[in-house]
Structure 1
């Protein structure tokens, strides 16, 4: 593919310089991301309402539903005025199993002894519906419908089509979208705004390009790279996704403040590849328009 788009035109920054600049913006945005007082209050209120589970159980839940945030039993959700949505699959976590101890087995005056663990069903907040909860006050979504987003969607669809990766807009359950490596297909929620649909489509397009045969990278790396690249690509073509992307990357980075820097080369390379593909498609469209003019 021609790289003429990477040449400097006058005093304008090259595409490579622009990508690197946007990566710095992402790094700074994630490092400086601070939850608002309203968000912190809502999270603390939610933690007070939710059962306390071990770190291991939270990891087990996230392995089954990566975006899981607040989990509770079917009964507890009912107590909170919420019902599990029809068709939702329970997450399985571990619970200790105790039996009554015999006299000779008692220690420290305890009447029961731990004999192992069993799995019990729980559901994430996003798998339920009903009465509003504190966290509902701080949901972040990209609103709006701008021409830039529609152009990016059109370009992303063409790139996916050339890679024989079908795209479907429809029901995605609790997720905004997902990529299926087995089927090499992308599904994006039809309920999202055009701007959010655009960002999600580019995010899943990155997964289809980078993670189709990648079995070594961690889930954190995959998600930071996908969202980081989506931010760079969308910003490059005029759609600012920082309100969503900074928080998303921060949530996957956890305490690793250098996650963006660590995966920066991968984000830059992937963004560069997609930007060049988009630019080539735009040039082809312009050539066609000139021919038919």
Structure 2
């Protein structure tokens, strides 16, 4: 198993590198240049108000991208620096002595202008892509289509091994699922094909294992790369091809082409993937075995029913024969 997992990780790394060289990635970068890189504080504000936010921008930016904000949507409040600047005059100081500099011609202290409120901010509102509609945004991923052999056993196994309960939910927009550490649940979007459901479930289960409070120092990019890489390895181990989604997803969350988030996490990804595969194997065996026992019991019950039917048939036949014999004797006596 470990050799197969290593080969899958190599396949993932090569596939992600190919995405970086694709025309699709160039179009993606061109579009992403319209979006800001938000500060740590603003990122926290966004997450607090909309934990499922994936791509946010102001009203005018969405309009520029030929998308409009849905009527009635509540904006996400963040802080932005004020556009205007006020200045005050201060004494110009000698950098060596820290004493005011005297103008040789006028004999007066030289002055310089400095911003009066360099850290002044105002509240502005942005909107997540799920709050807008219009032209599609270039994406590096393609939603997985198709069904999976023995899907029922597979998804039951994933639910059984997950440390958080897994439930299905109507989720608006592009979000496929989420892991809620506060309420300790994993939600999967309804209406998707079996391949996408299984891949998303493993992705969120990986989050629940790797990215709790004890690992809060892991940045968002690394967390997403780790979770999707585990999902890719586990799915492909069972013959579920997710490259159309996983390669682009990992590339989209990587800082640049050196994919340091992936390379620095290979041991974590391998260990987590191996653990999940082992747990899934054991749980599938248990489910299959329990269902076989149920089937055997059903078969035994069926056999017993047949035996009872035969017994009833014989009894009914014997009663008919006795009745016919009695009728015949009465006729003869007459």
Shorter-chain TM-score category?
A: 0.7 to 0.9
Alignment pair present for 1:171 and 2:175: no
1:2-151 superposed matches below 5 A: 15-34=1-20, 36-37=22-23, 40-41=26-27, 44=30, 46=31, 50=34, 53=36, 55=37, 57=38, 62-63=43-44, 64=46, 71-74=56-59, 77=62, 80=66, 82-84=68-70, 86=72, 88-98=74-84, 116-129=120-133, 131-133=134-136, 135=137, 140-147=142-149, 150-151=152-153
Residue 169 of structure 1 aligns to a residue in which SS? strand
The match for 2:230 is 229
Displacement of 1:183 in angstroms is 1.8
Residue 147 of structure 1 aligns to a residue in which SS? coil
Displacement of 1:237 in angstroms is 1.2
More displaced stretch, 66-75 vs 166-175: 66-75
Residue 153 of structure 1 aligns to a residue in which SS? helix
| CA distance, structure 1, for counterparts of residue 67 and residue 14 of structure 2 | 40
CA contact (8 A) 1:203 1:230 kept: yes
More displaced stretch, 182-191 vs 65-74: 65-74
Residue 145 of structure 2 aligns to a residue in which SS? coil
CA contact (8 A) 1:73 1:122 kept: yes
Displacement of 1:22 in angstroms is 1.0
CA contact (8 A) 1:33 1:250 kept: yes
Question: Structure 2 vs 1, CA of residues 281 and 199 (structure 1 numbering), >3 Å: closer, same or farther?
Answer: same
| CA distance, structure 1, for counterparts of residue 263 and residue 189 of structure 2 | 30
Q: Deviations over 1:129-150 (max 9, x none)?
A: 2x324x2687621122232655
Q: Deviations over 1:238-257 (max 9, x none)?
A: 21111111111112222242
TM-score if structure 2 supplies the norm length?
Answer: 0.67
TM-score if structure 1 supplies the norm length?
Answer: 0.75
CA contact (8 A) 2:169 2:189 kept: yes
Residue 187 of structure 2 aligns to a residue in which SS? strand
The match for 1:9 is none
CA contact (8 A) 1:62 1:68 kept: no
1:205-244 superposed matches below 5 A: 205-214=205-214, 215-244=216-245
Displacement of 1:232 in angstroms is 0.5
| CA distance, structure 2, for counterparts of residue 47 and residue 216 of structure 1 | 26
Displacement of 1:47 in angstroms is 5.8
Q: Which residues of structure 1 form unaligned runs of 5+?
A: 1-14
| CA distance, structure 2, for counterparts of residue 119 and residue 126 of structure 1 | 21
In the comparison of the two structures, how many residue pairs are matched? 267
| CA distance, structure 1, for counterparts of residue 250 and residue 225 of structure 2 | 5
Residue 122 of structure 1 aligns to a residue in which SS? strand
Q: Deviations over 1:134-171 (max 9, x none)?
A: x26876211222326554322211212xx3x2222113
Q: Which residues of structure 2 form unaligned runs of 5+?
A: 91-110, 297-334
The match for 2:275 is 273
